[in-house]
Amino acid sequence: MHDRILLPTDGSRGNSRAVEQAIGLAAQSDARLHVLFVVEDIPYAPEMMDGQVEA
C-alpha cells in the first residue's frame, strides 16, 4: 500500500490525532514514517521587547 509516509506537524496538541493515524497507517503498511517539523524564523518586532525574543 504505502512504503513511505510524510507527516508534517507544528507540534500542537491538535496534531495528536494525525500523529496517531500516521503511526497506525505506517504500522499496518510496514511503511517508513518521516516527520517534518519546520520552525519559521519570525522577524524582530518592537512590541516584543519585553524579553520574548531570544537569539
pTM: 0.63
Q: How confident is the model at residue 31 (pLDDT cuts 50, 70, 90)?
A: very high
Indicate if the pLDDT at residue 6 is higher than 90: yes
pLDDT, mean over the chain: 82
How many whole angstroms separate alpha carbon 27 and alpha carbon 46? 47
Average pLDDT rounded to a whole number, residues 4-30: 91
How many whole angstroms separate alpha carbon 23 and alpha carbon 34? 10
How many angstroms separate the Cα of 11 from the Cα of each of 28, 30, 37?
24, 24, 7
pLDDT tens digit sequence for 20-30: 999 999 999 99
Dihedral of alpha carbons 42, 48, 52, 55, sign: positive
How many whole angstroms separate alpha carbon 4 and alpha carbon 53? 37
| Residue 13 vs residue 41, higher pLDDT | 13
